[in-house]
Amino acid sequence: MRKRWIIAGLMAVLGLLAVPAAPQAHAQATSWDISGNESVPVWAPIGTYQHDGSGPYLGMEVVMMRTPRSLGNQPIAYRGVLLNFGSQGTGAGLPTVAPGGILGSREVALDTENLGRTSFGPGYRLTLGYRLDNGWNFSLSWLHMFDVKSSGGAGPQGPQLTNPGDFSANTFLTSPVYNFSTDFFGRNPFPNPPFTSNPTAGIWNAASDMTILFTQRYDNWDATGKFPVFETENARSYAIAGGRFAWIWERFQWRTSKPELVLNSNGEFGFQTSPDSAARYLNTLSQRMYGPMVGVGHEVMLYSGAAGAFGFGTEITGAALINIVKERSKYIREDEATQAKRVWSQMTLVPNLNIAMNLNWQPFDGMHVRLGYNFHNYFNTYYMKEPVSFNVGALDPAYDIKLWRMIQGVNAGVSFTF
């Protein structure tokens, strides 16, 4: 019985194919307008291709996007003082400490977690394009995010307000920086006596203030061609092809200042910081990514009337990007009299997937407004696993692969035709 129904169905299909095509059906086969009706004119140059007319257009948008902070958790400083030459104790209350011993609680005072939460940052996108009469659309767009900065720090006063430690050691900050030249020794923060020389060699030993700053920047350039594939009265689809350039730039900065005990004109001791007793550590990670891009887009008409035309569009684009990675780190004294630095370069492949969803509104001919949300996904990028290298003589901070990095946020803008 089932075979009879199958045979009957095949005979019916063959019969329909054998019928000569009607003139209207032939017209439909040679037109992008599959419905056979005149499409509703919706101009969307910064979304889909223009349906009616041709010419240049300019789009301007503001964006608010959240860039994830890809940074490993690393302790940077603790409370206490490292006595390079030790101490045999004195009547001033200083305990006996062996050379290289720690005076203080060694409680972690500063790490990368002190940078706090991430947040959305502002930016803009500019689009310049031209649409041909056949619906082909060519454009160049630039998305730029302003610098997003996160900061943290530690000072002389720790959480244990009533426990300054022996010789107030807990009011000082120390980091395990080593293998540095005498240009980075810094001044002496302790009185003489009880110390006859500077027992805390290094700007990062017995410091009074340390701050960290993480800066992020993001750019995306797209050279895009959009080509109509399918269109009905209320919907349209198009293919996307072109090239993409993306740039993820990050910098970790750590500033340290070491006090110097001085005698003022009134005969009183006080602390001050000199340029040769302050230093900065910088770690810069720059990832420039280039490659071809392909994708698809689709737009649906929601309303067309006295208030204008409304539509909803979605675009999905993928790219295979060559990532040129540049890693630079250095220690530099505040007065720039001396520094130690190192630079690396490498190359990787980064797959990329971008998704954009936009609500489009054309209040009148020649003007188009849209509001949307974007997801920029990058796979196999680098991040600072341990941003600080404490070995000044052989800088080597740890980097690692970030499997997935997503930059997301809203966009709102307007475009005009000329």
Rounded CA-CA distance 144/141 in Å is 10
Of 61, 217, 239, give the one whose Cα is nearest residue 142: 61
Backbone φ and ψ of 2, nearest 5°: -65, -40
Q: Which residues of 112-126 are buried (b: 16+ CB within 10 A; e: fewer)?
A: bebbeeeeebebebe
DSSP state of 178: B
- Classify domain 48-417 at the CATH topology level: Lipocalin (2.40.128)
Structure tokens at 413: 């803008």
Q: CA gyration radius for the chain?
A: 32
Per-residue pLDDT of the chain (418 residues; tens, 9 = 90+): 444 444 445 444 344 334 443 333 332 322 223 333 344 444 444 444 344 557 899 999 999 999 999 999 999 999 988 877 555 455 555 566 666 677 888 899 999 999 988 889 999 999 999 988 888 899 999 999 999 999 999 988 777 655 666 667 888 999 999 999 999 988 877 655 455 556 788 999 989 899 999 999 999 999 999 999 988 878 889 999 999 999 999 999 999 999 876 656 565 555 667 888 999 999 999 999 999 999 999 999 888 888 888 999 999 999 999 999 999 999 999 999 999 999 999 999 999 999 999 999 988 878 889 999 999 999 999 999 999 999 999 999 999 999 999 999 999 999 988 8
Rounded CA-CA distance 410/356 in Å is 10
pLDDT of 285 reads 98
* CB atoms inside a 10 Å sphere around CB 196: 8
Per-position DSSP letters for 360-392, written without gaps between them: EEEEETTEEEEEEEEEEEEEEEEEEEE----BG
* Element of type H or E holding 18: helix 2-18
Sequence-ordered list of residues with C-beta below 8 angstroms from that of 362, at least 6 positions apart, any chain: 42, 43, 44, 308, 309, 368, 369
Sequence-ordered list of residues with C-beta below 8 angstroms from that of 301, at least 6 positions apart, any chain: 40, 42, 233, 234, 235, 309, 310, 311
Of 163, 176, 242, give the one whose Cα is nearest residue 204: 176
pTM, entire model: 0.83
Backbone φ and ψ of 203, nearest 5°: -60, -25
Rounded CA-CA distance 212/384 in Å is 14
Rounded CA-CA distance 331/393 in Å is 10
pLDDT of 50 reads 45
